[in-house]
A and B are shown apart, each in its own frame.
Chain A
Amino acid sequence: MSGFSEIWVYLATSPLTWLGATLVAFVLALRIGALLGNSPLANSVLLSAAMLIPVLLLTGTSYPTYFEGAQFVHFLLGPATVSLAVPLYRNLAAVKRSIVPIAVALVAGSVTAMGSALAIAAIFGAPPEVLASIAPKSVSAPIAMELAKSLGGIPSLAAVLVILTGVTGAIIVTPLMNALGTKNYAARGFAVGVASHGIGTARALQVNDMAGAFAGIAMALNGAFTAILLTGFLLLR
């Protein structure tokens, strides 16, 4: 019997188990999404986490142990960000034509994203470290965690809020834009990239190639712009 429990201990702490679990959960999430007609509510990030967290809690596995396996997937976020150069290059002519709307929408969207989240959280009396963690919620997780840390926030909470923002945007963007009655896919893509970074971009790539390209550039620009804005704030403080 002790032989089996040793095997279990090996499996529960092996990076292979949690890397495998992450991949299997994602494939299942995609299957479930397809069964539901790719409804935006069946968000694959949300579904995967909803499957993995109970398994980790039931097996008493800590997040650091899980991450030892999952880090191999997480690591690819960097090269994936670099990869956004490809849809950007493919749509470079359209992006160049829209350079002024892009600049205006970037500033308006980025300031709205930060300001409105800070204002609502502050109204509820959230402490400074929570405010510092929610400020960069609309930019990609690695950037937001870095910014939250410099602002005196909690990096892991910042990551959670970033994911939540991404999933929220990916879920509401299509119904919201249809309700607004706009078929301008460059504008729609740009909006979801500014508001909901990579998770919004993943949704945009699913809907329309042009939307995907503008979401990619929006995500990159907002990451850079938010970083410059908050770094400037830190330097002036």
Chain B
Amino acid sequence: MTDVVAKPLRPADWVAGFALLILCQLAGETLVQILRLLVPAFAFPGPVIGMLLLVGLLALMGDRARPVIASADGLLGILSLLFVPSAVGIMQNGELIRAWGGPLLLAVVASTALTLVVTVGAFILTERWMSR
């Protein structure tokens, strides 16, 4: 891993970088499927396991990680776009939204604000308590 601007990536490198992201996810999903045989209610996210796997690989790969880093940065740069199809899905729930829209909106907005305050507070207070 390097921050030095080096020679541009070759086409095959872009594909290899993206392939590694896909393979990490595949490994994560496979592990989840295996664990589901043991615990059917298991709902652990496969991509999160893939992410942890990739952190380990990045530590091992050194400079050879450049292609996968380029692919990952590219995807993260357009992260918002990837949520648009799910957001449009709101049109499917017209009836429920009409019936419960107000309370649900209030629950979401109030709960999100409270979560932000509690989380940032817990983080900062723990940091202060530790540095005492």
Residue in B28, B73, B87, B88 whose beta carbon sits within 8 Å of that of A86 in the complex: B73
Residues of chain A within 8 A (CB-CB) of B100 are 124, 126, 130
A39 at the interface (CB under 8 A from B): no
A34 at the interface (CB under 8 A from B): no
Residues of chain B within 8 A (CB-CB) of A202 are 76, 79-80, 83
Residue in B54, B107, B119 whose beta carbon sits within 8 Å of that of A191 in the complex: B119
Nearest to A184 among chain B residues (CB) is: B124
Query: B119, A120: Cβ atoms under 8 Å?
Result: no
B interface SS class: helix
Q: Give residues of chain B (83-128) contacting chain A, Cβ–Cβ below 8 Å.
A: 83-93, 96-97, 100, 103-124, 126-127
Cα–Cα, bound, A79→B129 (Å): 37
Q: Give residues of chain B (11-68) contacting chain A, Cβ–Cβ below 8 Å.
A: 18, 21-22, 24-25, 28, 39, 41-48, 50-55, 58-59, 68
Residue in A87, A117, A141 whose beta carbon sits within 8 Å of that of B76 in the complex: A87
Nearest to B56 among chain A residues (CB) is: A85
Q: A45-B84, A83-B71, A188-B120 are known contacts. Are A198 and B103 too (CB-CB below 8 A)?
A: no
Residues of chain B within 8 A (CB-CB) of A210 are none
Q: A80-B76, A202-B79, A227-B44 are known contacts. Are A172 and B87 too (CB-CB below 8 A)?
A: no
B4 at the interface (CB under 8 A from A): no
Cα–Cα, bound, A43→B84 (Å): 11
Residue in B21, B68, B72, B81 whose beta carbon sits within 8 Å of that of A26 in the complex: B81
Given A88-B55, A156-B89, 8 more A-B residue pairs with CB atoms under 8 Å apart are A49-B84, A82-B51, A120-B107, A146-B43, A165-B111, A195-B112, A231-B42, A235-B39
Query: B91, A176: Cβ atoms under 8 Å?
Result: no
Nearest to A186 among chain B residues (CB) is: B123
Q: Nearest Cβ in chain A — how far from B30, in angstroms?
A: 13
Residues of chain B within 8 A (CB-CB) of A43 are 80
Query: B112, A169: Cβ atoms under 8 Å?
Result: yes
Query: B80, A199: Cβ atoms under 8 Å?
Result: yes
Residues of chain B within 8 A (CB-CB) of A7 are none
A132 at the interface (CB under 8 A from B): no
Query: B18, A195: Cβ atoms under 8 Å?
Result: no
Cα–Cα, bound, A74→B42 (Å): 23
Query: B110, A120: Cβ atoms under 8 Å?
Result: yes
Cα–Cα, bound, A10→B42 (Å): 42
Residues of chain A within 8 A (CB-CB) of B43 are 143, 146-147, 150, 227, 230-231
Q: Give residues of chain A (5-32) contacting chain B, Cβ–Cβ below 8 Å.
A: 22-23, 25-26
Q: A154-B96, A195-B116 are known contacts. Are A163 and B110 too (CB-CB below 8 A)?
A: no
Nearest to A122 among chain B residues (CB) is: B107
Nearest to A61 among chain B residues (CB) is: B91
Query: A120, B87: Cβ atoms under 8 Å?
Result: no
Cα–Cα, bound, A194→B112 (Å): 9
Cα–Cα, bound, A8→B43 (Å): 42
Residues of chain A within 8 A (CB-CB) of B84 are 22, 25-26, 45, 48-49, 52, 70, 73
Q: Nearest Cβ in chain B — how far from A227, in angstroms?
A: 5
Interface hub of B53, B54, B84, B105 (most chain A Cβ within 10 A): B84
Subset of 24 A-B contacts with CB under 8 Å: A22-B81, A48-B88, A53-B90, A53-B91, A81-B25, A81-B51, A82-B50, A83-B73, A85-B58, A86-B54, A112-B118, A134-B104, A142-B47, A162-B86, A163-B90, A168-B112, A176-B116, A184-B120, A187-B127, A205-B79, A212-B76, A224-B44, A230-B43, A231-B44
